[in-house]
């Protein structure tokens, strides 16, 4: 395959999966500038690895690998990595009345809670929310399905606690 053809294919794949990259960047960064940097890093890494893609797995599975690997191993380059984010601007709600909240508000809370998870947990919860099967998650992360199920249960519990904390503004 010549370079032009390769570039064409690559661009088409990236356009098709732009949303996937956007989600990874949103989960792993806190500012727009970092988000753009990470997006660029992932695109460059994907381009470097693209000639090796043989189609043995779905493109999205392969792309998740590149994106997560780049996100979790590359974020320390400029400054010390922010492991915990204190959302000072979050309103300190008095009650834990989730029923009264719209889905969008709950989603915002979920994002805030996810940002307090560690890097591996973030990847697992993102894939879970994307409805990826445990088999596919295993192919991306390299963890056994049994281990992933155990971790997912723990993460669910952790997220429940974290959203409660966010609700109470702690």
Task: Give the footprint of other proteins on this chain (CB under 8 A).
Answer: 7, 10-11, 14-15, 18-19, 22-23, 26, 39-41, 43-45, 47-49, 52-53, 62, 65-66, 68-70, 72-74, 76-77, 81, 98, 103-104, 106-107, 109-110, 118-121, 123, 125, 128-131, 139-143, 156, 159-160, 163
Outline where the chain has alpha helix (H). Answer: 3-16, 18-28, 32-49, 59-74, 103-114, 119-129, 134-141, 145-167
Cα–Cα distance measured from residue 62 to residue 169, given in angstroms and rounded to the nearest whole number: 38
Nearer to other proteins, 29 or 140 (CB): 140
How far separated are the first and last CA of the chain, in Å rounded? 56
Nearer to other proteins, 86 or 111 (CB): 111
**Smallest distance, other proteins to C-beta of residue 68, A:** 5
Tell me whether residue 77 or residue 84 sits nearer to other proteins (CB atom).
Answer: 77
Look at residues 64, 162, 65, 68 and name the one whose alpha carbon lies nearest to residue 115: 162
């Amino acid at each position: 395959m010549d370079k032009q053809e390769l570039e064409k294919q690559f661009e088409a794949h990236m356009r098709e999966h732009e949303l996937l990259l956007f989600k990874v960047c949103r989960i792993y960064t806190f500012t727009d500038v970092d988000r753009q940097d990470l997006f660029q890093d992932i695109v460059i890494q994907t381009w470097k690895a693209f000639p090796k893609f043989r189609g043995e797995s779905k493109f999205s599975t392969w792309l998740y690998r590149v994106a997560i690997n780049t996100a979790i191993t590359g974020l320390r380059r400029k400054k010390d990595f922010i492991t915990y984010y204190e959302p000072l601007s979050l309103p300190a709600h008095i009650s834990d009345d989730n029923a009264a909240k719209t889905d969008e508000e709950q989603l915002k809370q979920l994002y805030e809670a996810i940002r307090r998870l560690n890097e591996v947990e973030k990847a697992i919860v993102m894939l879970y929310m994307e409805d990826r099967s445990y088999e596919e998650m295993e192919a991306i992360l390299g963890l056994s399905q049994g281990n992933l199920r155990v971790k997912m249960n723990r993460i669910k519990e952790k997220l429940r606690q974290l959203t409660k904390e966010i609700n109470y503004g702690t």
